[in-house]
Structure 1
């Protein structure tokens, strides 16, 4: 249930920064996941040690989880760049002091 008082109080700078950081990290996780998915698909060759159809079904899930883990572990620097752009846009719009 939402608190009526909280719904009219604007978010603090810390809350806004936390949401922006989470959005930047989520973006990086998705980006890394997509790169990983392409990498896994390019190296997949049917053979004796192939996982077959089951492996192909879960390859996307594996790539997504790898992307999330890499982003949570510090990432590759994309989140920092995205966060800097978000902050610039917020400051230009006057969203944060």
Structure 2
């Protein structure tokens, strides 16, 4: 069997897809916001609505849905910070130059 030759590729390294990174960052922000909304008591069952197991189970879904809407509308800016962190040091320009 011939030896496997490993060398440097003449092709630049594949850059992360901005759309996928932005979606991941937005999802992370939505998850964070959902936890904050739950912690603030938004998802707690209210006695005025009758309470019960069904209301308790759906309250978490409500907090997640509201958090996703908040994140889609721009959120608190956390998605942008996460997006830049996912791009790595220097962002896309740095990744393009290293190839």
- Do Structure 1 and Structure 2 share a fold, with TM-score over 0.5? yes
CA drift of 1:44 comes to: 4.0
More helix as a share of residues: 1
Paired residues of 1:40 and 1:59 also in contact (CA < 8 A): no
Could you state the TM-score of these two structures normalised by the residue count of structure 1? 0.68
Unaligned segments of structure 2, at least 5 residues: 1-11
Question: Which one has the largest radius of gyration?
Answer: 2
Q: If the length of structure 2 is used for normalisation, what is the TM-score?
A: 0.66
CA offsets 1:45-89 (integer angstroms, 9 cap, x no match): 753x13411221111000110110000011111001101111125
Report the 3-state secondary structure (helix = DSSP H, G, I; strand = E; otherwise coil) of the residue aligned with 2:56: helix
| Deviation string, structure 1 residues 12-58 (Cα, Å, up to 9, x no partner) | 75x611111111001001110111122226x84753x1341122111
Count of residues in correspondence between the two structures:
82
